[in-house]
Amino acid sequence: MRLRCLVAALAFAVVFSIYGRDIERPTMGWSSWNTYYIDINDSLIMSQADAMVRLGLKDAGFLYINIDDGYFGGRDKATGRLLIHPTRFPRGLKPVVDYIHGLGLKSGIYSDAGANTCGNFWNDDTIAKNVGLLGHEQQDIDFFFKELGCDFIKVDFCGADGFSNHAHYSFEPYDRYKAIHEAIERTGRKDVKLNVCRWNYPGTWVSDVATSWRISEDIRDNWASVRNIIGQSLYLSAYAGNGRYNDMDMLEVGRSMTEEEDRTHFGIWCIMASPLLIGCDMTTLKPETHALLTNRELIALNQDALGLQAYVASTDGKTYVLVKDIEEAYGNVRAIALYNPTDEPQEITVDMTTLDLGGKVRMRDLFACKDAAEVNGKWSETVAPHGVRIYRLEAEKRLERSIYEGETAYLSSYQEIYNPMAFGTGTYFADSTCSGGMKAGNLGMRPQNDLRWRNVYSKNGGSYDMTIDCLTPEKRKMIVVVNGGEGTVVEIEPSSEGITSINIKVDLKQGENEIRLYNDRARMPEIDRMILKPMV
């Protein structure tokens, strides 16, 4: 069975994206924060690095040893040079980083976009004041990446967020992270990964400066926390891609959650292409945690060459079926998760047509690394409370997707830092009258506050009958643009039914298309979904 897992994993690993280039994969490693907070030291970090190698986690793909908050020792007044904690790291950081590298691992470090760290504010680490990157961008970045030779940095925001620093500094995340990104560029290193830690999806600018970004507040070692973070990531798939990832935070597996919850936590992080940073003490890893973390088929799903995050294919309001392409874009192979966040067992029914798959579908259970049933049409399965089932599906036929939900579209101004209504940026809303129970809204008024389905695939190209289901309280207009061409203006009247459907004919090219809906001067209707049918 181990061998079969390995062969399948290798097969996944050698297949590259249809775009013919290899992309950055989600970061895999360990971080000191979840278990140790600021109580870290030289020998602790080295023993975790040893354990990563000894336990075969390195071979499974876990490479980064990330030193989080807790290593700071103030700043030299005369030179501004960052000092390292005198008792936690008496030799400084260089020997530790060298040791990590000596094991063939990579080394990650932590800083803050402002002046103090989060540990200074929340954990009373009084020494971690004036140690953030503010005013020391190039000096510290050169120290981390040229002098120490680190490979990754997580940049927190406590010191730049008015609420969480005693100096009441308050900065725009975009300005701070752009400056830090530019300082990294000036080191000449092209391989450094920057993780933005702003505790909510920061805005679409983030994929230009970072390789991953946190989308939630800190994870905790309990099911409610894991469930909330999964809930926050369900409608963010449009913002991952091209080697850039939504970071669901460091793993809490192997601590106090049940085995079922740990499996759900790890499995969903895998299918959502989140970075995988182990957060427990690896020197005392339980056998079941070890087996889970080294499941090569789940890891291959996370590290898949397409780098996609799964989206919600269907939901009954309680449970979710998540899906994404793996191995080949728009091909016959997809991965799915049947996710039950509730406290009761739930029967989840999967209809292959909602997954755009036709004919016989071979299923492989990625937790067991075993072939499962062959399905044609629909199948149902009972999923345990807090549980998930994850499968690789290989179908006889890939059907063209015809339903594109508003909540899976890319909103060019999407952000979660400020209230979107006050800030005038597009967002997603729950609405039980809409298909999928969700819609996109608060769109229009500015050219960049638009909605885009950027992955509309047509196998042969041609004319399509397009229906857009909208909601509007008054007569509104929007412009429908296909592949940046000339737009079609459509007028939407309110309807007593709630949903107004408009119909137009569009021409799609063969392959990927982009469909954009916008109104740069006035409010747009809310968007439930788009349905495309080829015209014959």
Residues tagged active-site: 156, 218
Handedness of CA 186, 189, 190, 196 (dihedral sign): negative
Q: Least separation, in Å, of the C-beta of 348 and ligand GLA?
A: 32
Angle at 188 between CA 101 and CA 243, to 5 degrees: 75
Rounded CA-CA distance 420/428 in Å is 10
Q: Considering beta carbons, is residue 249 or 325 the nearer one to ligand GLA?
A: 249
Question: What DSSP element (H or E) covers 66?
Answer: strand 64-66
Contact flags string 190-209 toward ligand GLA, x per CB under 6 A: -------x-x----------
> With binding defined as CB under 6 A, does residue 156 bind ligand GLA?
yes
Any residues with CB less than 8 A from the CB of 444 and at least 6 apart, and which?
A: 450, 476, 478, 518, 519, 520, 521, 522, 523, 524
Would you count residue 442 as binding ligand GLA (CB under 6 A)? no
| Closer by beta carbon to ligand GLA, 12 or else 199 | 199
Site residues for ligand GLA, 334-373, by CB under 6 A, read: none
Piece of 5-13, 117-125, 302-310, 397-405 that binds ligand GLA (CB under 6 A): 117-125
Residue with tokens 């006050």: 422
CA distance 428 to 526: 9
Q: State which residue has the least CB distance to ligand GLA.
A: 118
Q: By CB under 6 A, is residue 507 in contact with ligand GLA?
A: no
Question: Residue 259 Cβ, how far from ligand GLA at the closest point, in Å?
Answer: 25
Minimal distance in Å, beta carbon 337 to ligand GLA? Answer: 25
Asked if 119 touches ligand GLA (CB under 6 A), the answer is: yes
Q: How far apart are the first and last CA of the chain?
A: 48
Stretch that binds ligand GLA, among 91-99, 114-122, 307-315, 383-391 (CB under 6 A): 114-122
Task: Decide whether 218 or 260 has the Cβ nearer to ligand GLA.
Answer: 218
Least gap, CB of 508 to ligand GLA (angstroms): 42
Reference 37, options 260, 244, 250; nearest CA is 250
DSSP-assigned letter for residue 450: -
Point out which span in 112-120, 308-316, 429-437, 498-506 binds ligand GLA (CB under 6 A): 112-120
Comparing CB distances to ligand GLA, the nearer of 33 and 518 is 33
535 sits in the region (left: phi over 0; alpha: psi -120 to 50; else beta) called: beta
68 binds ligand GLA (CB under 6 A): yes
Cβ-contact 158, 122 below 8 angstroms:
yes
> Which has the closest alpha carbon to 451: 513, 514, 400, 531?
514
Residues that bind ligand GLA (CB under 6 A): 33, 68-69, 117-119, 156, 197, 199, 218
